[in-house]
Amino acid sequence: MVAYPHPVIRMPIICHHCRKPKCAENCPTDAIEVRDGVVVIDEEKCISCRQCVISCPFGAVFTHEDIETPFKCDLCGGDPECVKACPKQALIFVPEHMIGEEHRVSSLLKYAKMKEIEYVEQGEKKILKYAETEKVTDGGAS
């Protein structure tokens, strides 16, 4: 986890387990492998060159002065400890096909709360009120 040097903003930086991991692409010893969809560092093959640290676009590979090789999230064998430990349930572990679900739900809610929609028809700006949409729907159904 990284706490940004900012009084308010604190956010976790975690590995995305990319399908095409930049960290692995730039590893000179092929020490980074994808095993069952999880991107892992093989410490035996690693020469500690830190290329992976530089290559990850998210800063998800870490180093520590007491640890010889870089390290990163390995999903704890499929049962991530960070998710269990988070006191605010801010972290959730979901199947890959659920990625984006939160955005989809939040978009739906935004539409549901909209009172009117602005659009342009033949160059003319128009406003469709939500109530009018309901009327049209009712009329169409009868």
Q: What is the 3-state secondary structure (H, E, C) of 88-106?
A: CCCCCCCCHHHCCHHHHHH
User: Which of 22, 71, 82, 128 is close enough to bind ligand SF4 by CB under 6 A?
Assistant: 22
| C-beta of 12 vs 107, nearer to ligand SF4 | 12
| C-beta of 64 vs 125, nearer to ligand SF4 | 64
| C-beta of 26 vs 128, nearer to ligand SF4 | 26
Q: Which residues pair with 125 in a beta bridge?
A: 120
Buried/exposed code over 8-35 (b: 16+ C-beta within 10 A; e: otherwise): eeeeeebbebbeebbbbeebeeebbeee
Closest CA to 23 of 10, 42, 36, 4: 42
| C-beta of 13 vs 128, nearer to ligand SF4 | 13
State in angstroms the smallest separation of the CB of 84 from ligand SF4: 21
User: What residues numbered 56-75 form the site for ligand SF4, per CB under 6 A?
Assistant: 56, 58, 60-61, 69-70, 72
Alpha helices in 7-78 (DSSP H): 22-25, 51-55
Task: Name the residues that contact ligand SF4, by CB under 6 A.
Answer: 15-18, 21-23, 27-29, 31-32, 39, 41, 46-52, 56, 58, 60-61, 69-70, 72
